Amino acid sequence: MQTTQLVTEADLTNLLGDTLHTEVVEYFVKDTGGSTEEVERQVIECMRYLYLISRYRTELSGLFLPVEQHIDEIWHYLILQTREYVELCEEKLPGRFFIHHRSIGYEDYAQEPGREQSIEEALRWIPLYCKEFGPFDEGALPHWTIVRFLRQRMDMSLEEISALEPAASAA
């Protein structure tokens, strides 16, 4: 059996480069009043989000990935660094394509495809996240809406969430 090496936090930080990573962290520490540790985790989760979209373009294309607002704000900031963002998307992330942004709230999105489909789509990325980065930990909960919902409202353990299999797609 072949084992896949996980993408580490250092790998994700290196994708941004030291200068941009430091700039993003310093900006959001100042802007939000959060600690450096909190903001660094937010940047890592934003990079995980972008990595998944890039790596799994076919599987996740056009899907709503339910991340929290602070992750979206970091993504907005990265987009505004146009030269670095293009380089990140087209040269550093695994898919090598420009990742476009569309802002839409979860409630609004759920009305577009319907509740059942939006739930299936929200759950589709969980196995991919775990495959690339390892199981979820408590630090991920504040950043991923569906993981927090499964943990807090459905009383699932992080181990149960991390063991979720991809849903069978309706043919």
One digit per residue, the tens of pLDDT, for the chain of length 171 reads: 455 799 999 999 999 999 999 999 999 999 999 999 999 999 999 999 999 999 999 988 777 777 899 999 999 999 999 999 999 999 999 999 999 876 555 455 445 556 677 677 777 889 999 999 999 999 999 999 889 989 999 899 999 999 998 765 543
Q: Is residue 3 part of a domain?
A: no
Unique residue bearing structure tokens 């580490």: 8
Tokens (6 digits) for 95 = 């898919």
Q: Is residue 171 part of a domain?
A: no
Q: Is residue 4 part of a domain?
A: no
pTM of the model as a whole: 0.88
* The total number of structural domains that make up the chain: 1
Beta-carbon contacts of residue 23 (< 8 Å; ≥ 6 apart): 81
Q: What is the residue range of 122's domain? A: 9-161
Q: Is residue 168 part of a domain?
A: no
Q: Is residue 166 part of a domain?
A: no
Taking a C-beta distance cutoff of 8 angstroms, is the pair 11, 44 a contact?
no
Query: 144: which strand partners?
Result: 67
